[in-house]
Structure 1
């Protein structure tokens, strides 16, 4: 990781920004870590509540965080909290992310495993209060590349814009093996993101989403 990594930056406007490092991790190391993550993480596929209905989450998950942080809850589900020392390779990946993003201080990690193209994550934003008003969220991908979509939250004014103007409100990234995508500023307030179903996406994808949880005293 000593070489300077190439990065592309997408200015979404109004204080929102996305940064993408296509070749964040060396390929051989990425494959080793994929194998470890696939076999060594205590994955679970929980039941969640969406629009009042109970359903099985369409991907496996695991949650890691520093001790003493507020508990994470989403869609009626509260994951078991694992500590960093249980999974030393995750600490190595976290170190690499911190080196790539000077000033970042991530203390929690949500892992997701997509077994194939039928696993997905629906449109949402990571705007929980425990992340603060302008969270920096770093997403590292391993395995099968998948499409990552962004779209602007609909507003009253956006409904009267011309079709040409609306094209700027949707973006797509192909998240490759060993890549890093970072959402910054007001992205979670003003934008939604998803990883849609793709029948052609054969093979497992594992995604590590690093975040900073504010302590109860903040």
Structure 2
């Protein structure tokens, strides 16, 4: 069984600038505490990011275990009415007695936590880092190269409740992670009725509608509150991302 050694977390300054004192209070704000970047996206949405959640060597130990021992599969899914091979490998772990997970017409087999003890170790560490959290399911994804990706989506399945907290731990190759605000109902209504497009926003406003991160080896990113209701996220294709990335997303089934 793998054992993790905790490391001191250092503050990070490369993700986002310090909050602008003249910033509109409705726009997102950024705080940094004990190595964790806390981003208030507004309207009850929040993202937390810790680039050094796990130590470097232990992260590689977990990576090699997951790469070799998880029963990865690359399923056929239905996207916009068309069947296609999912552009990444996947596996699903969940506690017994919960509703089945179904996404894009695919229902993965639910493995037990007891089958993969290192996953329980990582789960315990996530719970310690996020007091009050209680995750009981896990979706694993393996990106084998730059062509493997996940498109824009929100993890807003009903079984996660109205304000799901999702904790994402990454191993291996660094990949870009994007967040984009969903269009407002006013904008959608105008488009549907053939109205004029909204006036061009300033760069500052555009920046407040999107966020980007480089998810590092051994990092933790958390989406909470109404992030899944109001935002979508993606991991896009990257030609230069030649190595394997493994990502664990812990969720709470209500």
CA distance in 1, matches of 2:238, 2:116: 30
* Match in the other structure for 1:68: 97
Q: Secondary structure at the match of 1:32?
A: helix
Structure 2 alignment gaps of length 5 or more: 1-5, 10-33, 188-196
Comparing 150-159 with 61-70, greater Cα deviation is found at 150-159
Show structure 1 runs of 4+ deviating over 3 A.
2-5, 156-159
Quote the Cα distance in structure 2 between the aligned partners of 1:166 and 1:179: 27
Give ranges in structure 1 of 5+ residues lacking alignment. none
Distance 2:98 2:206 in 1: 39
Work out the CA distance in 1 between the residues paired with 2:231 and 2:241.
Answer: 25
Q: SS state of the match for residue 93, structure 1?
A: helix
The aligned counterpart of 1:205 is 245
Aligned length: 214
CA displacement, residues 100-119 of structure 1 (integer Å, 9 cap, x when unaligned): 00000000000000000100
Distance 1:171 1:68 in 2: 36
Shift, 1:156, TM fit: 4.3
The reply on whether 1:154 has 2:183 as its aligned counterpart is yes
Q: 1:122 aligns with which of 134, 151, 154?
A: 151
State the distance in 2 between where 1:60 and 1:193 align.
18
Question: Which among 21, 26, 30 is matched to residue 59 of structure 2?
Answer: 30
**TM-score, normalization by structure 1:** 0.95
Residue in structure 2 matched with residue 53 of structure 1 by the alignment? 82
- In the TM superposition, what is the alpha-carbon distance from 1:3 to its structure 2 partner? 4.1
- SS of 1:163's equivalent in the other structure is coil
Q: Radius of gyration: which is bigger?
A: 2
Alpha-carbon distance between aligned partners in 2 of 1:196 and 1:64, rounded to the nearest angstrom:
25
Helix, strand or coil at the partner of 1:148 = strand
Inter-partner Cα distance in structure 1 for 2:39 and 2:103: 28
d(CA) in 1 for partners of 2:221, 2:199: 29
**Contact map agreement 2:7 2:55 (CA 8 A) in 1:** no
Q: Name the Cα RMSD after superposition.
A: 1.2
CA distance in 1, matches of 2:39, 2:200: 22
CA distance in 1 between counterparts of 2:51 and 2:185 reads: 35
SS at match of 2:60: helix
Say whether 1:188 aligns with 2:228. Answer: yes
TM-score after normalising by structure 2: 0.82
Query: Structure 1 14/42 Cα, relative in aligned 2: closer, same or farther at 3 Å?
Result: same
**Correspondent of 1:137 among 166, 176, 182:** 166
Counterpart of 1:79 (choices 108, 112, 136) is 108
Which position in structure 2 is the counterpart of 1:18? 47
**Which residue of structure 1 lines up, in the alignment, with residue 132 of structure 2?**
103
